[in-house]
Structure 1
């Protein structure tokens, strides 16, 4: 059987209708310009992604001030990537539908290797197909396509920056240190030990110099849950019991499994639960894991009171907060 490409029998198909771009030079030119504009929008999306990734986190986002720089950066990266992918695809589709040859052909094949003559004909057919794309005479599309594809290739290379360097000790460091006051979140109010009743749970953050503009990276590591029990309800080792104050115990709110917020407290059982993967921690036993995938207890914060009676940290966390990533394998 021949491997030759031949036109499909016209009697089996509806009559071919020429497109406007096939018969009207003005329509052809307009379609070419539209394709170039779409490629240009794709390139703009790539530039927006690059700009957002490099610059937005260090500048004030004027038009959306309530978002904060980090949220604005993520929005810019997302919109830029979406534009880059969407418009380069739409441009290719519009180009194919309006400007590329639309004559249908059929390729008759057989199961074995084609003859040298048939293989040569296939190469010739491919060359003719490439010529049909008409990049040689459509310089506007060729230039806009080259710019769009070139810019499209830059973001993946740029994003490789996020593979390194390793964070070092940054994941282990928080703003908790000796003497740091515990402030309500929200509210930023200092807390007296007498403010907490037995069974109460309060989320707190450390007092810092600029409490109104905490970086998201700090908010992701610093939250603490204060829980007050009756002192006799604890089943703690002496060193852990010494880290409490009059039945008040403090744990990191960041789950030691995948970093979700441990936001549920069962007052009857004295259990903290992570809603993401159901890791369960026993408050009476220093947040020991009693169920779920978490591999270690929640880090405990050593607390006491200052001269005015407000709760303060006596020392940083007893271990690194958050998931057990590569730098915590030994813990």
Structure 2
């Protein structure tokens, strides 16, 4: 075979290459090639795009769903008010369930589903669904790309008909405004506002210090120098429904020091014959402080080792606690029993809101 013939034989397969690449990196269509890029199909208009009557119908459907959401939110709030906690109803196939929980769950589901279904139906029937392909671009945006995005945003806002379809806009804003009220109602009913709940305890002027072991009032002669005992407010009983909540704030430790060992003048003025009373609740995370060291007058929190000096206003000398233990001002009444002269002047336990 001649060299010319060999050259022609080697060049012949080039005619059977499946595809070539265009200038933009996309494959050029080759007749008969099953893997060629077919491109985007021709855009098909929806009925709402060409029939204003159908578009109006879709608008009413979307507005109806948003209205249903508003009614669901109002039903949620109404159910929260009218149904007592202990009322039960029979619901097939669930059986007997709490009327309050069932109505709250059902009404909130209606409120949220109404917003979601309305938004989906709006997007599928009234907003533009035409695909707009674009080349992949760099991560950083140049001025031309920013201008293009702003133009697309304006075009999208225009095609959504948000400004033109007032019925949809009004009902959507109404639904989105009402739904957060569900959370507001539930959170507000959790109890008194935190500021009022945390700033006050069961202590008040004239309330006797009661020994929780004997349920009898504490007297100065019951507390020898160097000893530590605990106390609770007069009138607080373990049978009370809110006993745990009250004692968690009002728990008190009472220590008798020698008056000459007390360094803080305010602490000395608020004591009686060297008997001082401090909150038992640690100002770090609220653990009960109870480990007392007689020689140093230090008291230790067992949870995280915060240490307070009871001879110096219970200031923090070690550990993560951020504030000293609040002191309760005490005196004796006409019967010779130790009594409180007021409530704590500052909130007890862990600091909240950087208490002022």
TM-score where L is the length of structure 1: 0.50
Larger radius of gyration: 2
Of structures 1 and 2, the one with the larger relative CO (CA 8 A, separation 6+) is 1
TM-score where L is the length of structure 2: 0.47
